[in-house]
Chains A and B, each alone.
Chain A
Amino acid sequence: MSKSAPKPSHDYSEFMQRAYAMELEASERYAQFAEQMDGHNNREVAELFRKLSGIEALHAKRILEEMRWPSLPALPPAYAWEGPEGPETAPFESVHYLMQPYHALEIALACELQAQKYFESIAAGRVPEKVRITAREMAQEEREHVMLIRAWLENVPQPAAGWDEDPDPPRANE
């Protein structure tokens, strides 16, 4: 578990490495959730998580293209997030096999808000101008995602009470 909050990224390349790791972790987690939902035949939510994974992967790819690293970057040795995982990574335990698209979007909204806050905090810190400008741009991008997901949520039915009740729960793994 991370012992300390992230250190301010004074170096542009290190800042971008963190941003890349953040997007990649988020993408991988959504892909894992999609697999989990597939396993429980919750196809609609699986598809939604796959879409979210694709969006995050695209962000990671854009960073790679911009940075033109000769090989995939390793995280700096002193690397640490404020929590146990990156700010945009959905917690493992946040899914349920009967969850609905609304729940998946709520998870995504929380992640985007955390990502926005993360970039805003970097932009507000004592960092080189190039880092500040990029962090502001990224925060703005995350803000747009927040708005997009909020709009998306309005078009998705809210789960009725008792959505997680299952008269024949598949509690055995076989």
Chain B
Amino acid sequence: MNAPAVPVALAAKDFKSDYKPVWCPGCGDYSVLSAITKALASLQLRPENVAVVSGIGCSSRIPAYTTCYGFHGVHGRSLPAATGLKAARPELTVLVASGDGDGYSIGGNHFLHACRRNVDLTYIVMDNHVYGMTKGQPSPTTEPDWSSKLAPGGTGLREFHPLVIALASGANFIARGFSGDPGGCAALIAEAVRHPGFSFIEILSPCVTFRPEQRGWKQAVRPSPVEPTDDPARAARRLMTDDGFNIGVLFQGKRPPFSGMAVTATHTVADLEKGFLL
């Protein structure tokens, strides 16, 4: 009789696939990938028990670079796919990767409803305030006066505030990280995974190609001066004075996660089939 297998502790490298990332050298997403693998190792999860779901964009390449199950889905639709997966396979740890274009514009509506539904997902949005993959168009988080070849003089449009939206829509865990601090991001991701319900982490991840000035974020970010709160009103007041560079956990709610609804059958399958008969 074989002795029972002793589980081997996994390291961050065990969550990295053999595929080499093709992001631009210096891109913040390298650091986010590193943070995700460190977080999964620190949680001592196993790759076969984790799924990484994404949409489209530079950041959405992440599933291929991990050894976890992955789904590189349709633009902006990572959250519906992840929601379905978690509902069908609640035992899996489901991470969702997105960017500010994919997550806040194309997938903006799904973001609101994922917060509201509070399914136990960890949503990581790599925010670089630009559509990088499609060559530098302004995104929902782009500053109104950011002038570029594609938006001369800037869009003049007020930027989206993801943390405010997440809080107003019911997200159960809200945090902000900075890719230049991969250790800090790893800790935030691990905490978000452990927290029940919908956890949202915005990670400021500079686009060194189209927004080289974002290298200056390193000097702008600072640890949040306040401890996390479980009071949405208090969190909202903090966001009133947030300049977008406070790093850490803002809100840890106590709302129970969505765990599916008890379904009582009112019709037999045969009854339903009858309805389709011509």
Contact = CB atoms under 8 A, between A and B. Distances in A.
A2 B222 CA distance: 9
B70 interface: no
Contacts of B223: 1-3
Contacts of A7: none
Interface residues of B, number: 35
B20 A84 contact: no
A1 B221 contact: yes
Interface in A89-117: 91-97, 99
Interface in B172-187: 178-184
A136 to B, nearest CB: 27
B135 A93 contact: no
Given A1-B222, A171-B135, A95 B25 contact: yes
A94 B181 CA distance: 14
Contact of A173 (B22, B218, B247): B22
Interface string A67-101: 00000000000000000110000011111110100
Contact of B25 (A2, A40, A91, A172): A40
B244 interface: no
A39 B21 contact: yes
Judged by DSSP, the binding face of B is loop
B34 interface: yes
Nearest to A38: B20
Interface stretch (A28-36, A50-58, A121-129, A149-157): A28-36
A139 interface: no
B74 interface: no
Contacts of A99: 25
A2 B248 CA distance: 10
B31 interface: yes
Contacts of A172: 133, 135
B215 to A, nearest CB: 5
B24 A97 contact: yes
B182 to A, nearest CB: 7
B215 A93 contact: yes
A9 to B, nearest CB: 18
Contacts, number: 80
B24 A92 contact: no
B135 A84 contact: no
A92 B184 contact: no
A95 B136 CA distance: 20
Contact of B206 (A3, A36, A93): A93
B23 A173 contact: yes
Contacts of B208: 93, 96
Contacts of B30: 32, 36, 92
Given A32-B34, A93-B206, A172-B133, A1 B24 contact: no
Interface string A19-61: 0000000000000110111111000000000000000000000
Contacts of A171: 24, 135-136, 209-210
B180 A93 contact: yes
Contact of B178 (A1, A36, A40): A1
B22 A39 contact: yes
20 contacts: A1-B181, A2-B181, A2-B184, A39-B20, A39-B21, A84-B178, A84-B218, A92-B26, A92-B27, A92-B28, A92-B30, A92-B31, A92-B182, A93-B26, A93-B180, A96-B25, A171-B136, A171-B210, A172-B135, A173-B24
Interface of B: 20-28, 30-31, 34, 58, 61, 133, 135-136, 178-184, 206, 208-210, 215, 218, 221-223, 247-248
Query: Shortest 6 CB-CB distances between A and B: which pairs?
Result: A84-B181, A36-B25, A95-B25, A93-B26, A1-B181, A1-B184
